[in-house]
Amino acid sequence: MDTQSIQAPFQFLGSKITKVAQTNTFDYLDSGESLKRYADVNYSIDEIAQHDNLQFGTISLYVKLQVLSSANHYDISVDIQGTFFSDLSIDNENFKKMLGINGCTVLYSIVRAFIISLSSQSLIGGQIILPMINTFKLIEKKETSGASN
């Protein structure tokens, strides 16, 4: 099917990784070993602006992951920023909601792939895969916690 006929009004312009920190004490990642995993994700809507007949929004996503064995640990944190745009047919409130839901989904997928790639090059015998998340719940929890943005 021709994508022009099904293209969404909300589009991804691009992203950049703004910070990466990694610590690894594993010599070998044994898939049979009992590992504890802790992951945390948060986001902020940094800016919404209008230029001509388009609106642009920038969002930052912050992901932290820790994998622990009895003797070793792998820690990584990645901050990523993405820019999205739409025409003015989407009002400001809905555009902000789309930044949260769609923006977090897009950026989290990029971070997942980045961590898979980086961990597979940093660990002998394996890779770290972040769990899938429900971005609706992420937004809901952020709103109910009273956090700004």
**The total number of structural domains that make up the chain:** 1
Question: CATH number of the domain that 112 lies in?
Answer: 3.10.420.10
58 strand-pairing partners: 47, 83
Q: Look up the domain containing 122 and give its range.
A: 9-129
Round to whole Å and give the CA distance between 6 and 49: 25
Mean pLDDT value of segment 74-82: 98
The verdict on residue 135 lying in a domain is: no
The verdict on residue 28 lying in a domain is: yes
Round to whole Å and give the CA distance between 20 and 62: 10
CB-based contact 39:65 (threshold 8 Å): yes
The verdict on residue 47 lying in a domain is: yes
The verdict on residue 84 lying in a domain is: yes
Confidence of residue 132 (pLDDT cuts 50, 70, 90): very high
Tell me the backbone φ, ψ of residue 99, rounded to 5 degrees.
-60, -45
Mean pLDDT value of segment 43-54: 96
Percent of the residues in the chain that have a pLDDT greater than 70, as a whole number = 96
The verdict on residue 4 lying in a domain is: no
**pLDDT higher than threshold 90 for residue 31:** no
Residue indicated by tokens 């790639």: 117
Mean pLDDT value of segment 94-121: 96
CB-based contact 47:58 (threshold 8 Å): yes
The verdict on residue 16 lying in a domain is: yes
**Integer angstrom CA distances of residue 67 from 35, 39, 128:** 6, 9, 8
The pTM score is 0.90
